[in-house]
Amino acid sequence: MVITSRSRLVLTLNQGYDEDGMVMLATRSFQNVRTDAADENLKAAGEAIASLQQHGLSNVQRFNTYEL
């Protein structure tokens, strides 16, 4: 039986462009996310947190760790 042992929320923020025109990205990670939280709720939480940031949101990701 596979058990989700940990979950992490990662926000990728667009910080603009460098002098060569390449996109600069930064990530913000949030550990100890409830493993039973719905993906839709985590996306909404990520968007709410990103609205408090100076830079625009590029991506919201969830990473789960499983015990086999």
- At 1 the pLDDT is 85
* pLDDT digits (tens), the chain, 68 positions: 889 999 999 999 999 999 999 999 999 999 999 999 999 999 999 999 999 999 999 999 999 999 98
DSSP state of 7: E
Task: State pTM to two decimals.
Answer: 0.87
How far is the C-alpha of 8 from the C-alpha of 14, rounded, in Å? Answer: 20
Give the per-residue pLDDT at 23.
Answer: 94
DSSP string, 11-67: EEEEEEE-TTSPEEEEEEEE-S--TT--HHHHHHHHHHHHTTSSSEEEEEEEEEEEE
pLDDT at 37: 96
* Number of structural domains in the chain: 1
Handedness of CA 6, 65, 48, 24 (dihedral sign): positive
Range of the domain at 50: 3-67
pLDDT value at residue 26: 96
